[in-house]
């Protein structure tokens, strides 16, 4: 029996779980204090590590008895989907934040620490930088600017596999559009197991979301930047965590907006309608890349709990394919399964170089 520790760090929380083979035995979502999460990212590592160790002790577990630590991968160089062994090159890239700052960088560092100290295997699966784009979708009309792939790869692929299993097919036999709707929103065109087109969900591409603006009209945005004398870091912060519902409604909590909308608040209704149309247009764009050969459209993420939103999107896209909803996310299970697949030889482990 494989003893797997799963570690998934978010901006304000550390999610930890313990699996025996593919069965979840224990799990906790540890919410950190403001004092901890407002520290510089790299300075949070000790508190985060302590939280993981406390989880182990509270569940009568110890690092020595583990076989594997499976961590959410951080911002790395673009790589193919799959499960990768954590190595020193990868750790160098996440700890220097060479490809950007994301709490998941710290998950990889924690897994490496266990590998070094206790000799356990350490893996990451389908990090946000999975890049399987086809060339035509990378090119833009400005030489030197390319579209890049940053998305909820872990949850999108987990949900796609779940759907495939439910109809007794393999993931790589299907063409699917998977839409993750959380703090950020990404819509991926999965063609036979590869995500050939997806919006960069972290900044400046795709539909608006609770915390992000998505695609903006570029000349108006250029004027906005110049009028407000914004630096690159300020622009990036606006795009990645200070826009979308936050800018329009003053909150990233979609539930709050939805409650108001259901009570007839015009502004809240309009925000939801605009988001729904933008999400639908993104799905339409992925359907075009798949040349209309779409087996199903799958919705997932926190916002997929909202029937109100799903019902607003559906009329625009139901002509494309059947839709199915997988509310919430399956990241912990996906990480456990990713490690399990390579440990049991059903999938080959990849090397980050």
For residues 122 and 150, which CB has a smaller minimum distance to ligand CCCC(=O)O in the complex? Answer: 150
**C-beta separation of 86 from 74 below 8 A:** no
**Residue 58, burial from CB neighbour count under 10 angstroms (0-12, 13-18, 19+):** exposed
Residues 6+ apart with CB under 8 A from 9: 15, 48, 72, 103, 104, 106, 107, 110
- 23-31 sheet: strands from edge to edge: 23-31, 13-20, 3-9, 68-71, 121-125, 83-85, 350-351
- 184 is a site residue for ligand CCCC(=O)O (CB under 6 A): yes
**Where does this chain touch ligand CCCC(=O)O (CB under 6 A) — which range of 43-51, 178-186, 290-298, 342-350?**
178-186
User: Is the Cα dihedral 238, 127, 52, 30 positive or negative?
Assistant: positive
Distance CA(220)–CA(76), nearest Å, equals 31
For residues 303 and 332, which CB has a smaller minimum distance to ligand ATP in the complex? Answer: 303
Ranges within 115-134 binding ligand CCCC(=O)O (CB under 6 A): 128
- 127 is a site residue for ligand ATP (CB under 6 A): no
Residue nearest to ligand CCCC(=O)O (CB): 201
| Interface residue with ligand ATP, options 210, 214, 244, 338 (CB under 6 A) | 210
Q: How many CB atoms lie within 10 A of CB 220?
A: 9
For residues 184 and 338, which CB has a smaller minimum distance to ligand CCCC(=O)O in the complex? Answer: 184
**C-beta separation of 317 from 297 below 8 A:** yes
- 210 is a site residue for ligand CCCC(=O)O (CB under 6 A): no
| Interface residue with ligand ATP, options 205, 282, 295, 329 (CB under 6 A) | 329
**Where does this chain touch ligand ATP (CB under 6 A) — which range of 78-86, 87-95, 113-121, 296-304?**
296-304
Residues 6+ apart with CB under 8 A from 77: 93, 99, 129
Provide φ and ψ at 298, rounded to 5°. -115, 130
- 255 is a site residue for ligand ATP (CB under 6 A): yes
Distance CA(123)–CA(286), nearest Å, equals 30
Pattern of binders to ligand ATP over 299-328, x per CB under 6 A? --xxx-xx----------------------
The token duo for 136 is 């035509």
- 201 is a site residue for ligand CCCC(=O)O (CB under 6 A): yes
Residue 302 binds which entry of ligand CCCC(=O)O, ligand ATP, none, CB below 5-8 Å type-dependent: ligand ATP
Residues that bind ligand ATP (CB under 6 A): 182-184, 210, 252-255, 258, 301-303, 305-306, 329
């Amino acid at each position: 029996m494989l003893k797997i520790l799963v570690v998934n760090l978010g901006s304000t929380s550390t999610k930890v779980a313990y699996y025996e083979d593919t069965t979840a035995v224990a799990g906790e979502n540890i919410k950190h204090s403001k004092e901890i999460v407002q520290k510089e990212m790299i300075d949070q590592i000790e508190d985060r590590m302590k939280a993981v160790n406390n989880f182990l002790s509270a569940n009568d577990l110890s690092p020595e008895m583990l076989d594997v630590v499976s961590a959410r991968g951080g911002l790395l160089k673009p790589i193919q989907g799959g499960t990768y062994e954590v190595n020193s090159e990868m750790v160098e890239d996440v700890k220097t934040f060479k490809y950007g700052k994301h709490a998941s960088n710290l998950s990889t560092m924690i897994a490496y620490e266990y590998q070094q100290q206790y000799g356990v295997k350490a893996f990451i699966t389908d990090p946000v930088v999975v890049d399987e784009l086809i060339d035509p979708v990378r090119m833009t009309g400005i030489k030197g600017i390319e579209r890049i792939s940053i998305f909820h790869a872990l949850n999108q692929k987990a949900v796609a596999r779940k759907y495939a299993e439910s109809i007794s097919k393999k993931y790589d036999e299907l063409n699917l559009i998977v839409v993750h709707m959380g703090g950020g929103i990404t819509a991926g065109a999965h063609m036979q197991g590869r995500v050939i087109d997806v919006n960069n969900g972290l900044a400046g591409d795709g539909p608006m979301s609770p915390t992000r603006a998505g695609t903006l009209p570029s000349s108006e945005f250029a004027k906005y930047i110049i009028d407000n004398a914004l630096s690159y870091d300020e622009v990036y912060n606006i795009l990645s965590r200070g826009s979308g519902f936050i800018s329009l409604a003053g909150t990233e909590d979609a539930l709050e907006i939805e409650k108001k909308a259901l009570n007839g608040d015009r502004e809240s209704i309009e925000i939801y309608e605009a988001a729904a149309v933008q999400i639908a247009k993104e799905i339409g764009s992925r359907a075009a890349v798949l040349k209309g050969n779409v087996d199903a459209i799958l919705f997932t993420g926190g916002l997929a709990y909202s029937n109100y939103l799903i019902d607003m999107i559906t009329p625009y896209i139901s002509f494309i394919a059947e839709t199915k909803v997988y509310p919430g996310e399956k990241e912990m299970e996906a990480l456990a399964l990713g490690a399990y697949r390579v440990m049991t030889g059903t999938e080959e482990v990849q090397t980050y170089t």
